[in-house]
Every structure is written in C-alpha cells, then in structure tokens.
Structure 1
Amino acid sequence: MEQVTQLTSGWFNVSEEQVAEILEKVRAELPTTEALLIGKPQSGKSSIVRGLTGVSSEIVGQGFRPHTQHTERYAYPSNDLPLLIFTDTVGLGDVNRETQLVIQELIGDLQQQTQCARVLILTVKINDFATDTLRQIAQQLRQRYPEIPCLLAVTCLHELYPSGTGDHPAYPPDYTEVNRAFSALQNAFGELCDRAVLIDFTLEEDDYHPVFYGLEAFRDALADLLPEAEAQAIHQLLEQGAGEKIGNLYRDVSRRYLLAFSISAATLAAVPLPFATMPVLTALQVSLVGLLGKLYGQTLTPSQAGGVVSAIAGGFVAQAIGRELVKFIPGFGSVIAASWAAAYTWALGEGACVYFGDLMGGKKPDPQKIQTVMQEAFKSAQERFKGIKP
C-alpha cells in the first residue's frame, strides 16, 4: 500500500506554477475594466459596485482590501480572475492637506502598466455642492491622463424628491429641484467629465423601486466610454446575469484541470487490487476540490477539502464500493473501474464548481442542485470516458 501511494502521489499534484500559468493565460484573454471610484464617503461608491456586480452589501464590504493609505481595492469576482476591479478612495473630504496625498496615490496607481481598460467614476450626492476637493482631484488626473475617460455619477436623487413622494418616478426624474441641482453639478465639473448620469442605488429596506434606479442609463454611459470588448462584458453581466457569466468563466477554467485529474483517477482505479487504491484516489479527489476552491477564492486545508467532498458526494459513496468490488472480474473489471473513476472525478469537480460558485455569490450551497449537476455530469462523462485505457 505504501509503495502504491508513493508511486502515484505525484501523478495528480498540480504545481503552483501550473496553476499560475493557466490563470495568467485566461487573465490575458479577459476583457477586464478597472473603475476608479472617487467621491466622499456615503456618496454611493459601494452602491455602484453592488449595481454592477449584483453582490450583497456585505460581500462588497468584505471584498474591499486596503491598497494604499487612501485607497481600497475590490476585484470581482476574484483577485485571480477579475472582470471588474474597483479602486475606492476612502476618507476623502475637504481637508486640503489630504488632497495631494490622494492625488499622488491615484497617479501612482495609474502609472502602473496594465492591460485593463480604465475609467474614472466621480460620485457626488445630488444635494452636495462642496465639491472643491473632488474637482481638484479630477482636474489633476485629467491633466495627467487625458486618455482615461471620466463619468460623473450624481447619486441619492430621492433626497430632493418633492415632499410626499414615496417612490421613484419613471426614469429620468423630472422634478424641478433635481433638474436644477443636476445642471449646477454638470456646470461645476464642466469639461472634466465626458458623461454625466443620474442614479439612485438604494438598499432593499429603503423601499424604493427599482433598487438600482438608473442602472441602464449608468451602464450605457459607462459602455460609451469603454472599448468594445469591455463594454460588451458589462452588458452581458447585467443583461444575462452575473451568476451565469461568472459561472461559465470559472467552469471553463476548471475544466482545464478536470480532464487531467479524471485521467489520473482512471489510471489509479485500473490497478487490479480491490480497495488498495481507494485511499490514494480519495486523496486525488480531495486535491482536486482544494484546487477548485482556491480558484474560486476559497482557501481550504486538506481536511476542509475532504469535508466538502463528503458533503457533496452523496449517493456516489456506495457506488464507489461497488466499483472496487467489480475488480474481482479479471481484466474487464479494471476497465469498468477506470471508466467509473474518471467519470466520478469529473462529476465531483462539476459539483464542487457549483458549491464554490454559490459561496462566491454569497449564497448557501443547494445540495439538491449540486446532486442534480453531478448526476448529469456523471452520465455525460461516462460516455466521454467509456472504455478508457489508462
């Protein structure tokens, strides 16, 4: 048993270098957009992140990480494979001694070479006219980087709705106070912005409908300022649903590993010794789940990965024992066991993708959905690996 373990333990190890190479290739093909959100606290920056990604306010808060003294960064859906990167200015106020530090840090970010499309998004509350600091920052950034487009997002419209207005009107709002304030802000920023748009992204408990009021106008204004590929990606995120888009992206990357792991599983299972290879095969599958977890932004210990395998394996455990018993049939039994192990490893990987995808989206994994996906994946994989000869 020890000899079998030592011989096969290296067959299914995927090195950090291999993982990095796969991710780097996919990243190079992604139409990634970096949005620099510049505005005072409570001006709607995090709401814009929620509107574009569909994640909850809790996920947004957990996702932001300190980048420099005055900025935080949030990559969606993960740092490894981002479609959107948000850089948020934190603690921005009208204190002049801080303004130059913010500008210097933003310029430092923009000086870094990147393949991402970039856009500046200035967020201003509709009833806030103390915008000297924001205009100063925008002016210096535009002078230094005129090629980076700038969008003025005017937020919190409901704060100027007429008394007694309980919900959003048809977009765009046609209220005197809103129109007057919007015109004043457009004049104040003049040539500093390429587009200006009215939005009001609220929380569900605020009871304004729709929650993301003006999202389509915001999306269209943003798309007008971005290259075609990035603009199309944002349209797909919002029109088809971020979950489907992200799920397909991560599934495509995951399947680059599943084939190698499934073939390794077939090689192990073909050893004509009933139950002798089960521990090593289990270790292979735990390694696969751990690797997929890392891809989805979940760092798991081997024991935690094993727990995930146990949680999603379901009725396949009894079948695994039957697969080992069939090895008592000389020759033919090993072929069946190899084919089954390859198909099961593939199905387990597909189930793990659903599991980790739900966690990434802030949802509780649905065991029934995972089992359905695994059953369907197992049937198709059985055809794919039918008669496999490791």
Structure 2
Amino acid sequence: HPPYHPTLEAVDRPFNAIRANFEELVDRTVLIDFTLDEDGFAPVFYGLEALRDALADLLPEAEAQALYQLLDEQAEATNQLGNLYRDVGRHYISAFAVMAATLAAVPLPFATMPVLTALQISMVGLLGKLYGQTLSPSQAGGLISAIAGGFFAQAVGRELIKFIPGFGSVIAASWAASYTWGLGEGACVYFGDLMGGKKPNPEKIQAAMQEAFTLAKDRFKGGAIETTSSNH
C-alpha cells in the first residue's frame, strides 16, 4: 500500500464518486482495505488509523466536556450520568460491531483473528478516551485480556465453527459482532468505575459483558444492528 491517504487517480475517481453519491447520508468517508497478513500487503487493515480518528472526531468534544462538568457538579447524579456515557459509547460499539461482523464473515478459520483483535483494541482505546482515560494499544490489549475472561474460548469457537460448510461463517460473523459488543459494554463498566473513583468490579464487568453478548446475539441473528439505551 502507498502511504495513507493514497493519491492514485484510479482510487480517487471512484472514491470521490461514492462520496458525492452518499454525501447527504453520511458525515465522513474514509478509505479502508480489510487486508489480512496472508494477503501480503502492508500495513494490514489499511486505513484503520484514519477510521479510528474519524470516529473520535465525530464525537463532539463539547458533548464529552459537558458530561464531565455534570459529574463534577452533581455527584448524586453519577449513576444517571454514567448511563449517558454508556449511550454515547454505544455509538462507537455499534460501528465496531458491524466491522467485526464483516471481517468474521471471511470463511477461513483463524485468518481474521489478528485483524479483529486490532479492531477491538482500537474500540477500547476510543472508549477509554471518552471516559478520560488515555491508553496505548498495548494497554488496551492488556485490558481486554483482563476483562474478557472466558469470552476468549467463545472467540476460538467462533473460528472453529467456520469449518462447517454453508453457514459456519454466518454464525461466526454473528458471534464476532456480539463478542465485540459485549467487550465494549464491559469496557464501559470498567472505565465508568474508574471515572467514579471506584475500583473496577470484575464480577460486575463480566455480568455486563454476558448480558450484552446475549442480547447482541439475538439482535444480530436478524441482521438488525442498533444502539441500545438500557440501563445496567
């Protein structure tokens, strides 16, 4: 791949046409290429940084700042405001869950796991930024390992089921989206505890992840993807 953003006419012409056709429907357009290690291109997942930055920019800084001020001024409203943060975070989670499902639909077992991991690390990093926590990619990866618990076994199962001809990759896509959603919800609980000055509760985080994972499985079975505003 050339350095991002590519300046190739063969790329710019169709990209500009797509952007013009959808300009009334979208806020931002980003060039991405879901490449894998075995494709032989570098970097893998071309445009991931641009996608991450675009998502961060689309969350108005003033909105996050207003939430911080409310928390500082009204300690008694911490729970309600925590739910507001969760609702904002779900816009991120929804976008990353969709991308995870798209990647996991690749029928080759274990081929997409490195890219999915990078995707989920980016999601956790963005959620941390929302809650005022700046994490490096390695720190975000460590947090995922700490809070995911038994969900890793389900991720492995998601890849193994691709061996089933015909519908294995469809199930894997649903699981990947649901796992990403559950991970995002668990990260919100973790960061919410830190923001409230509390020690993160592993059992509370696992319960939130499991509930979100279960609800997301039902949602993605029907192909519908939506943000939720339920309180946990």
TM-score by length of 2: 0.73
The structure 1 residue matched to 2:51, chosen from 6, 10, 14, is 14
Unaligned runs of 5+ in 2: 1-35, 226-232
User: Which residue does the alignment assign to 1:282?
Assistant: 117
Q: Report Cα offsets for 1:304-352 as digits up to 9, x if no partner.
A: 0001100110111111111100001122000000000001100100000
Is the 2:71–2:81 contact (alpha carbons within 8 Å) kept by the matching residues of 1? no
Q: What are the residue-to-residue correspondences of 1:1-390 with 2, within 5 Å?
A: 1-2=36-37, 3=39, 6=43, 8-10=45-47, 14-24=51-61, 27=63, 79=65, 81-84=67-70, 237=74, 241-388=76-223
Is the 2:52–2:122 contact (alpha carbons within 8 Å) kept by the matching residues of 1? no
Q: Shift of the alpha carbon at 1:249?
A: 1.2
Q: Report Cα offsets for 1:108-135 as digits up to 9, x if no partner.
A: xxxxxxxxxxxxxxxxxxxxxxxxxxxx
Q: Shift of the alpha carbon at 1:299?
A: 0.6
- Amino acid in the other structure paired with 2:57: A
Q: Shift of the alpha carbon at 1:11?
A: 5.7
Is the 2:55–2:92 contact (alpha carbons within 8 Å) kept by the matching residues of 1? no
- Return closer, same or farther for 1:4/1:277 CA change in 2, 3 Å cut-off: farther
Aligned length: 188
Unaligned runs of 5+ in 1: 28-77, 87-233
User: Which residue does the alignment assign to 1:91?
Assistant: none
Q: Report Cα offsets for 1:122-172 as digits up to 9, x if no partner.
A: xxxxxxxxxxxxxxxxxxxxxxxxxxxxxxxxxxxxxxxxxxxxxxxxxxx
User: Which residue does the alignment assign to 2:12?
Assistant: none
Q: Which stretch shifts more, 326-335 or 3-12?
A: 3-12
Question: Counterparts of 2:47 and 2:136 in 1: how far apart (Å)?
Answer: 19
User: Which residue does the alignment assign to 2:27?
Assistant: none
Q: Shift of the alpha carbon at 1:8?
A: 3.5
Q: Report Cα offsets for 1:184-237 as digits up to 9, x if no partner.
A: xxxxxxxxxxxxxxxxxxxxxxxxxxxxxxxxxxxxxxxxxxxxxxxxxx7xx4
Q: Shift of the alpha carbon at 1:9?
A: 4.3
Matched residue SS, 1:14: helix
- Return closer, same or farther for 1:336/1:12 CA change in 2, 3 Å cut-off: farther
Is the 1:288–1:349 contact (alpha carbons within 8 Å) kept by the matching residues of 2? yes
- Return closer, same or farther for 1:4/1:296 CA change in 2, 3 Å cut-off: farther
Q: Shift of the alpha carbon at 1:82?
A: 2.9
Matched residue SS, 1:82: helix
Is the 1:350–1:377 contact (alpha carbons within 8 Å) kept by the matching residues of 2? yes
Q: Shift of the alpha carbon at 1:13?
A: 5.2
Question: Counterparts of 1:12 and 1:257 in 2: how far apart (Å)?
Answer: 15
Matched residue SS, 1:312: helix
Q: Shift of the alpha carbon at 1:362?
A: 1.1
User: Which residue does the alignment assign to 2:29?
Assistant: none
- Return closer, same or farther for 1:254/1:4 CA change in 2, 3 Å cut-off: farther
The structure richer in strand per residue is 1
Is the 1:23–1:81 contact (alpha carbons within 8 Å) kept by the matching residues of 2? no
- Return closer, same or farther for 1:376/1:9 CA change in 2, 3 Å cut-off: farther
- Amino acid in the other structure paired with 1:10: G
Matched residue SS, 2:51: coil
Matched residue SS, 1:272: coil
Q: Shift of the alpha carbon at 1:22?
A: 1.9
TM-score by length of 1: 0.45
- Amino acid in the other structure paired with 1:366: N
Higher relative contact order (Cα pairs below 8 Å, separated by 6+ residues): 2
Q: Shift of the alpha carbon at 1:4?
A: 7.7
The structure richer in helix per residue is 2
Q: Which has the larger radius of gyration?
A: 1
Q: Which aligned segments of 4 or more residues in structure 1 are displaced greater than 4 angstroms?
A: 4-7
